[in-house]
Amino acid sequence: MTRFKIRAAALGLTIGFLAATPASAWERGPVDVLTVLPDVTPGVQSSVEGLTVGPDGNIYVPTFGFNTQGALTGNAVLFVISPNGKVIRKATIQNSSPHMLGLAFSPSSGNLWVLDFGAGKILEVNPFNGYSTVKATIPNSGLNALTFDSSGNAYVSDSFGGFIWKVTPAGTVTAWASGPLFSPGTGLTPPFGANGVEFNNAHTMLYVANTAQHQIIQIPVNADGSAGTPSILITGINAPDGIAIDGKDNIWICANQEDEIVVIDKTGKVIAKLGDFSGIDHKGIAQGLLFPASLAFSKDKSTLYVSNLTLYLPYAGAEPAIDSAWTLQVKGYTVSQLPAVIPPFPDRFH
């Protein structure tokens, strides 16, 4: 057989194999725009990052205070969105900076706690009128995300200081965990260390995303409630941001520079990759995910809601990253939704 015929035969086998093989090993599923957020003031839009689902099933999202022109001034705004995507109301958060991040409802009081990233404060916010009181102040910090234990203590990530702060219902602050595993390192992009935080279902392990170091950290919870020795569960996720835990203790992670949701099991094995960036439509609205930052399950656990931060990183004092150029083309900021389903992974060889 001539060399040409051998090559032609090999090419034919390759084409046949590719035709019989799925185009992608990951069934990423649909990502829909749940809502395009309204202006915070006439003609002025704001990016959003923090997101939580309240006891009423509505989605609560505060503004992060950046748009395509740079940083905003004034107070932040809280949007309340119904599960069908209608913006029910918006409330100006009184006595706040423009830059709000994580938020959650306290299981002990039922009140909404919101992290004021710009002012280094933890606020208790009335979600109807925006009235706020200060629960705690942590100077020189980068307060990013929070979660609660069953007693109502909050665990707050500090992206700049390299801490996990514990805040009691009364507002007493202690350093629960710290160290280089929670720091942003030097010269890394995006420049945020400890970010998303969430407990497993038994509250025996706290998981922390380190965005700059591309890692998920695990911290055992000792019997007395103190922090055990932290360790790296997994590394290599492109800028992990917000995290959520499902009923099987799988960890759902916003990979904010890969524009996808990565799902890992409690051993760190990747079991799904969902969503992607699908361009910007003629109205300037991102389709799919663009710098996904925070996520939460619907009340019935069937839907995943995701905030698209869509941040141009140089405005935050960082180097441009993979999706930075696209963020400057956006004309409206979005919350996305996708089915909270882990598709089966195809077994190609059996």
CA–CA distances in Å: residue 321 to residues 152, 169, 241, 285, 347 = 37, 38, 15, 20, 34
Structure tokens at 155: 């665990």
Residue whose pair of structure tokens reads 């399950």 in the numeric block: 297
What is the chain's pLDDT, residue by residue, as a tens digit (350 residues)?
A: 444 443 444 444 443 433 444 445 688 999 999 999 999 999 999 999 999 999 999 999 999 999 999 999 999 999 999 999 999 999 999 999 999 999 999 999 999 999 999 999 999 999 999 999 999 999 999 999 999 999 999 999 999 999 999 999 999 999 999 999 999 999 898 999 999 999 999 999 999 999 999 999 999 999 999 999 999 999 999 999 999 999 999 999 999 999 999 999 999 999 999 999 999 999 999 999 999 999 999 999 999 999 999 999 999 888 898 889 999 999 999 999 999 999 987 765 44
The per-residue pLDDT for 344 is 86
Torsion of CA 47, 51, 53, 57, to 10 degrees: 10
The per-residue pLDDT for 24 is 52
Beta-ladder partners of 220:
205
φ/ψ (deg, to 5) at 14? -65, -45
The per-residue pLDDT for 348 is 52
Residue 240: alpha-carbon gap to chain centroid: 8
How far apart are the C-alpha atoms of 118 and 339, rounded to whole Å?
33
Beta-ladder partners of 63:
48
Number of residues assigned to the chain:
350
How far apart are the C-alpha atoms of 306 and 293, rounded to whole Å?
7
For 149, residues 6+ apart whose C-beta sits below 8 A from its C-beta are 155, 199, 203, 225
The per-residue pLDDT for 4 is 40
3-state SS class at 24: coil
Residue 309 burial by Cβ neighbours in a 10 Å radius (0-12, 13-18, 19+): buried
Beta-ladder partners of 221:
227
How far apart are the C-alpha atoms of 117 and 157, rounded to whole Å?
11
Establish whether the linkage from the previous residue to 190 is cis, with ω within 30° of 0. yes
How far apart are the C-alpha atoms of 275 and 227, rounded to whole Å?
34
Structure tokens at 147: 């979660």
Residue 41 burial by Cβ neighbours in a 10 Å radius (0-12, 13-18, 19+): exposed
Residue 98 per-residue DSSP state: S
Residue 310 burial by Cβ neighbours in a 10 Å radius (0-12, 13-18, 19+): buried
